[in-house]
Amino acid sequence: MNDPRLSALLATVPGLRLKTGPADLEYYGRDWTRRWVPAPLAIALPADAGEVQAIVRWANRHRVAIAPSGGRTGLSGGAVAANGELVLSLERMNRVLAFDPIDRSLTVQPGIVLEAVHQAARGHGLLYPVDFAARGSCSIGGNIATNAGGIRVIRYGNTREWVAGLKVVTGAGELLDLNRGLVKNASGYDLRHLFIGSEGTLGIVVEATLRLTDPPPPSNVMLLALPSFEVLMQVFAVFRERLQLEAFEFFTDHALRHVLAHGGQAPFGESHPYYVVAEFAAGDDARQAAALAAFEHCLENGLVSDGVISQSDAQAAQLWRLREGITESLARHRPYKNDVSVRISAMPAFLAEAQSLLAREYPHFEVVWFGHIGDGNLHINVLKPDDVDEAGFVSQCAHVTDLLAATLQRHGGSISAEHGIGLVKKPWLDSARSAAEIEVMRGIRHVLDPLGIMNPGKLFDPPVPPGHA
Ligand code: 2HG
Ligand code: ZN
């Protein structure tokens, strides 16, 4: 603790928990992207909003950059601290503060893990519907900072739909109480929504009031085998028209093979090029019959070649594992990740173009496709061959991302659907946002974080680099 800035911090916030050991700097300095070498100044673990505010004010006085930190499960480098930042970890602020049965809301601290939010809602007979594979590690603060999506967006929307109130400490050190859980509030700009998806560049969420909804209907899960990519959107149209879909997720045989190599159970006797996991409401005989009829219609028309339907919760979980295990099963191959979106109606044309582009550009690399096809969101993971060096691989992938970004732009899409821009996709922000839009974002940032201390280098470069104001 020789750094005088840290001594000043401890003098300002007596009792603040600070970590500076090499193992902690390494652990808290990186996220799931694994591409940057962690080099934070220290790790601060505040106990409450007052301590967060005091830290931000200290950071302004000493021109220290802050990297807000939740579960660090992000895939765009948004929580990386590679440049002497103070990591502000919210992991100790992880409690449920209140439940209101009339408002049907849960007020929580930002460090609470998503799964604990699910459990708290369930404990009150309700549902917090945002859900994805990292549920056991990611925190609600990070979900809000990235407007996290996941596997149930098709039915419930993104995190944004579920945030009824936010308390935030801005980059200037002000505590703002935004929207206070109101359903209607026509009193000017809704600043809450600026913070949702801001990737830690405007301030820090210190409390969130989340909307809850009715418990999910009894559901079934079906795994479908598809003969070709071209039929994918047709199968989606049939299922969406005839069933109440809770999820509709797609993956390729490449993806499945990695999950199986990782301990998953083969669903069919033979392999098929493409698969879909569909979850749908199935509480009564009529719904069950509709699901089977949808499947048979697809089978008769050559849109699917095989299928299984879950007969128990355990079997449903097993089918889901084939989709949810993909990211983990690919991690060993240090994949270059793309997380792109287009409007659902633009999907068939975009898919055809993107497929031929990637086949042409990556003749010797394995490309794994999967994602939330019903939201127009695809994950494209390019696996690094063992004999190719990391720097060369990343630069080749960056070149292909230039081409992919141009394709997306032509189809009106986005270079980041749900993972955020962070460090990884920063070079391509201008393919998804116009120059005028980026200027407005810079202006907003300047108002809320005038010295540019909040997560600098992420999303876009701050107007004033820390230390130069
Ligand atoms: C998912 O949908 C996540 O499983 C991770 O968004 C995607 O690993 C990825 O590329
Ligand atoms: Zn995803």
Tell me: pLDDT of 376 over 70. yes
462 pLDDT band (50/70/90 cuts)? Answer: low
pLDDT of residue 191: 98
DSSP of 351-399, one letter per residue? HHHHHHHHHHH-TTS-EEEEEEGGGTEEEEEEPPPTTS-HHHHHHHHHH
Residues of the chain with CATH 3.30.465.10: 1-216+433-469
Question: Three-class SS of residue 311?
Answer: coil
Q: State the average pLDDT over residues 270-298.
A: 95
Give the residue, out of 32, 35, 73, 75, with the most ligand 1 atoms within 8 A of its beta carbon, to mutate for a pocket test. Answer: 75
The model carries a pTM of: 0.96
Nearest bound ligand to CA 337?
1
Nearest bound ligand to CA 73?
1
Q: State pLDDT tens for residues 59-102.
A: 999 999 999 999 999 999 999 999 999 999 999 999 999 999 99
Q: State pLDDT tens for residues 417-454.
A: 999 999 999 999 999 999 999 999 999 999 999 999 99
**DSSP label of 139:** B
**With a 6 A CB cut-off, is 211 part of the ligand 1 pocket?**
no
Pairing label, strands 367-372, 377-382: antiparallel
Residues of the chain with CATH 3.30.70.2740: 334-429
Q: State pLDDT tens for residues 46-63.
A: 999 999 999 999 999 999
> What's the mean pLDDT when you consider all of the chain?
96
**With a 6 A CB cut-off, is 329 part of the ligand 1 pocket?**
no
**With a 6 A CB cut-off, is 62 part of the ligand 1 pocket?**
no
| Protein residue closest via CA to atom 6 of ligand 1 | 150
Q: State pLDDT tens for residues 170-211.
A: 999 999 999 999 999 999 999 999 999 999 999 999 999 999
The CATH number of 219-327, from 1.10.3720.10, 3.30.70.2190, 1.10.10.60, 2.60.120.200, is 3.30.70.2190
| Protein residue closest via CA to atom 9 of ligand 1 | 327
pLDDT of residue 468: 52
Query: What number of other Cβ atoms are within 10 A of residue 313's Cβ?
Result: 10
Tell me: pLDDT of 323 over 60. yes
- Sequence-separated (6 or more) residues with CB below 8 Å from residue 422: 33, 74, 76, 77, 78, 79, 80, 199, 458, 459
Could you tell me what percent of the chain has a pLDDT over 90? 95
| Protein residue closest via CA to atom 8 of ligand 1 | 327
pLDDT of residue 265: 85
Report in angstroms the alpha-carbon separations of 233 from 158, 266, 305, 447: 21, 24, 15, 44
Give me the interface pTM, i.e. the ipTM.
Answer: 0.99
- Sign (positive or negative) of CA dihedral 412, 415, 420, 421: negative
- Sequence-separated (6 or more) residues with CB below 8 Å from residue 418: 146, 147, 148, 149, 150, 153, 158, 339, 341, 372, 377
CB 373 within 8 A of CB 235: no
pLDDT of residue 58: 98
pLDDT of residue 34: 85
d(CA 379, CA 419): 10
pLDDT of residue 86: 98
**With a 6 A CB cut-off, is 381 part of the ligand 1 pocket?**
yes
Query: Locate tokens 């808290």: which residue?
Result: 28
Residues of the chain with CATH 3.30.70.2190: 219-327
CB 323 within 8 A of CB 379: no
Give distance in angstroms: CA of 343 to centre of ligand 1.
19
The CATH number of 1-216+433-469, from 3.30.465.10, 3.30.70.1730, 1.10.490.10, 3.10.20.740, is 3.30.465.10
Query: What number of other Cβ atoms are within 10 A of residue 254's Cβ?
Result: 17
Q: Which amino acid is at 359?
A: A
Give the residue, out of 379, 382, 383, 425, with the most ligand 1 atoms within 8 A of its beta carbon, to mutate for a pocket test. Answer: 379
Q: Does domain 334-429 have CATH number 3.10.20.30?
A: no
**With a 6 A CB cut-off, is 164 part of the ligand 1 pocket?**
no
Tell me: pLDDT of 469 over 70. no
pLDDT of residue 463: 55
461 pLDDT band (50/70/90 cuts)? Answer: confident
Pairing label, strands 105-108, 86-89: unpaired
Give the residue, out of 249, 339, 425, with the most ligand 1 atoms within 8 A of its beta carbon, to mutate for a pocket test. Answer: 339
Tell me: pLDDT of 167 over 90. yes
